[in-house]
């Protein structure tokens, strides 16, 4: 276990003992991710996302960073119906994700998942639609650029969830800074300052997993 710089190690270990075990597709993907060193949302973030998705019926989701389709499946399984557009740069990941979404279709045909393979910077401008939830979980140095492209597609009353915003504790303090990460760290600090001061957003930063920012777009019900 890598020691967290975000949550006290004992608290994190304790919370992990409280998490329910996933079954079926999600369990298989967790095993695949562990065996193949694929980065997926941390277990406590996965559980948070599950609860979060239950609290309100999201129907049009954009995910930036599909990987093998774990978080996409997790969200889809909590939706009653709707769509998920998910973007992945790495074609090999996208192949595995398409197998995941084929299995998902059997379990959850009410949610239509559209995979986009390519750089989100190029794909987002081609998406001619709006979303009520945007999940950003891709290259940490580009969150602000992703945000700028997809924010106009977020309906008032919609939510942006940004993962890894406290990046191994480095965003909060230079004490944990690894010098080769300085550009990512500076950009993420700017992104968090921007998000938390944005006049149309109400944002909370949660010290959970690698840090999660939840931003609610005011001005309506998505
Ligand atoms: C942390 S993983 C995503 C994990 C996934 N959301 C989950 O929890 O199951 C980040 C993914 O973003 C992809 N990625 C990085 N930069 C990207 C970009 N510019 N456009 C699209 N995908 C990108 C990476 O290839 C990687 O698979």
Instruction: Return the domain boundaries, the chain.
Output: 9-217
Q: Is the CB of 120 inside a 6 Å radius of any atom of ligand 1?
A: yes
- Top-level CATH class of 9-217? alpha beta
Q: What is the whole-number distance in angstroms between the Cα of residue 96 and the centre of ligand 1?
A: 13
Per-residue pLDDT for the chain (222 aa), expressed as one digit of tens each?
567 899 999 999 999 999 999 999 999 999 999 999 999 999 999 999 999 999 999 999 999 999 999 999 999 999 999 999 999 999 999 999 999 999 999 999 999 999 999 999 999 999 999 999 999 999 999 999 999 999 999 999 999 999 999 999 999 999 999 999 999 999 999 999 999 999 999 999 999 999 999 999 998 777
Q: Give every CB contact of residue 6 below 8 A, 6+ residues apart in sequence.
A: 166, 168, 169, 207, 208, 209, 210, 211
Output the CA torsion sign for 112, 66, 171, 212. positive
Choice from 44, 75, 87, 88 to test ligand 1 binding pocket (greatest atom count within 8 A of CB): 88
**Ligand 1 atom closest to Cα of residue 40:** 8
Yes or no: say if 87 and 97 are a contact pair by the CB < 8 Å rule: no
Query: The whole model's pTM is what?
Result: 0.97
**Ligand 1 atom closest to Cα of residue 121:** 19
């Amino acid at each position: 276990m890598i020691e967290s710089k975000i949550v006290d190690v004992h608290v994190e270990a304790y919370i992990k003992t409280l998490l329910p075990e996933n079954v079926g597709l999600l369990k298989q993907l967790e095993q695949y991710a562990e065996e193949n060193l694929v980065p997926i949302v941390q277990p406590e973030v996965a559980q948070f996302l599950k609860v979060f998705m239950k609290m309100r019926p999201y129907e049009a989701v954009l995910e930036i960073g599909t990987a093998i389709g774990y978080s996409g499946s997790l969200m889809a399984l909590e939706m009653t119906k709707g769509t998920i557009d998910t973007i992945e740069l790495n074609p090999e990941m996208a192949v595995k994700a398409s197998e995941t979404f084929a299995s998902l279709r059997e379990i959850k045909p009410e949610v239509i998942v559209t995979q986009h393979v390519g750089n989100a910077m190029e794909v987002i401008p081609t998406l001619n639609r709006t979303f009520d939830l945007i999940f950003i979980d891709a290259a940490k140095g580009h969150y602000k650029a992703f945000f700028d492209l997809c924010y106009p597609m977020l309906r008032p009353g919609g939510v942006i969830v940004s993962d890894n915003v406290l990046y191994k504790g480095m965003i909060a303090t230079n004490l944990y800074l690894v010098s080769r990460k300085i550009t990512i760290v500076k950009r993420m600090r700017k992104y968090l300052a921007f998000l938390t001061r944005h006049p149309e957003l109400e944002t909370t930063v949660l010290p959970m997993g690698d840090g999660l920012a939840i931003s609610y777009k005011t001005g309506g019900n998505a």
